Amino acid sequence: MNPILECKDLTKRYGNKTALDQISFSLMPGKIIGLLGPNGSGKTTLIKLLNGLLVPTEGHIFIDGLTPGVETKKFVSYLPERTYLNSWMKVCDIIDYFQDFYENFDKARAYDMLKRLNINPSDRLRTMSKGTKEKVQLILVMSRRARLYCLDEPIAGVDPAARDYILSTIIQNYDENATIIISTHLISDVENILDDVVFIQNGHIRMVDSVENIRFNQGKSVDALFREVFKC
């Protein structure tokens, strides 16, 4: 089985600042993986590289053996940490947009999730609150039958009730063969749904392990280990 994500000596520099420094690791498919690290550790940079929004300074990144490009974008579903939808559009327009461009988009699933959240498909995005926009964005991303979901800080900045909804949406709407990478620093909220974790700090990979191993071998929760590893 090929790794779904493989980084080889991957480096990304912004001017003099090194965001990722020769990182090498690989992730196998079919798991929910937490990309965990404090703010500014390089999580978003790694996810952007994976989605082709940044170009590596050095090294390589492969998604299912392919470099990021048109082919990988067909099966990678990306939720950025910001709102990227055109505010002039109605929710139903955005659903049509996703269906037009992504072959694996499930329109019925999207409308079903909207209905459960009482979001009117005829509403324009500019009339919605930030939280509702984020929910719409998550619905769009999770309505794709993708092989890899990249969720960048999906629960940051939302209330605990919304966090529960977001996490349950993620769990209920992904194919078991698919992989989910969740980038966050809110460990305790996501710990229960993770299979593996990647600890990242100052552009270096500190640890790649399964949650089971951490609990069994170290006798700690991921949250406790995170606090220990990233102690200030």
Partner 1 sequence: MLKKLYKYDWKSVSMILLILHGVLLAYSIIGRLAITIGENMASGRGENFDTHLSLSTTIFGLGAVAYIMIYAIFIIGIVLATILYLAVRMQKSLFSEEGYLTNTLPVSCDKILWSKILVFWTWSIIDFLCVALSIFILVSYPDTMPDIVEGFHSFFGSLFGLGGFNAMLEALGVVLGLLIQYFFYFTALILFSICLGSLFKTHKTLGALVAFFGINMGQSIVMLILMFIIPPLSPISTVVTTESGKVISSTGGSGNAQTIFLLSWYLILSIVFYLGSRYIMTKKLNLD
Q: List residues binding partner 1 (CB under 8 A).
A: 14-15, 48, 51-55, 70-71, 73-74, 76, 78, 80, 82-86, 88, 97, 100-102
Nearer to partner 1, 41 or 226 (CB): 41
Q: What's the closest the beta carbon of residue 160 comes to partner 1, in angstroms?
A: 26
Q: In whole angstroms, how close is the CB of 14 to partner 1 at the nearest point?
A: 8
CB of 109 to partner 1, least distance (A): 19
Buried b vs exposed e over 19-35: b needs ≥16 C-beta within 10 Å?
Answer: bbbebeeebeeebbbbb
In angstroms, give the least distance from the CB of 76 to partner 1: 8
Angle at the Cα of 55 (from 198 to 204), degrees rounded to 5? 30
Q: With beta carbons less than 8 A apart as the criterion, state whether 11 and 70 touch.
A: no
How would DSSP label each residue in 120-148?
-TTSBGGGS-HHHHHHHHHHHHHTB--SE
Nearer to partner 1, 105 or 226 (CB): 105
Cα–Cα dist 34/199, whole Å: 8
Q: Which is nearer to partner 1, 2 or 101 (CB)?
A: 101
Taking the complex as a whole, how short is the minimal distance between the CB of residue 72 and partner 1, in angstroms? 8
Query: Which segments of 64-203 are extended strands (E)?
Result: 76-79, 148-152, 179-184, 196-201
Nearer to partner 1, 131 or 171 (CB): 131
Report d(CA 36, CA 187) in Å as an integer: 7
**Closer residue to partner 1 in complex, CB, 72/222:** 72
Chain-centroid distance, C-alpha 101: 20
Of 7, 17, 6, 41, residue with least CA distance to 153: 41
Question: 108, exposed or middle or buried, with CB in 10 Å at 0-12, 13-18, 19+?
Answer: exposed
Q: Toward partner 1, which CB reaches closer, 93 or 223?
A: 93
Least distance from partner 1 to the Cβ atom of residue 129, Å: 17
The minimum distance between CB 202 and partner 1, in angstroms, equals: 20
34/80 with CB nearer partner 1: 80
Closest by CA to 184, choosing from 148, 212, 222, is 222
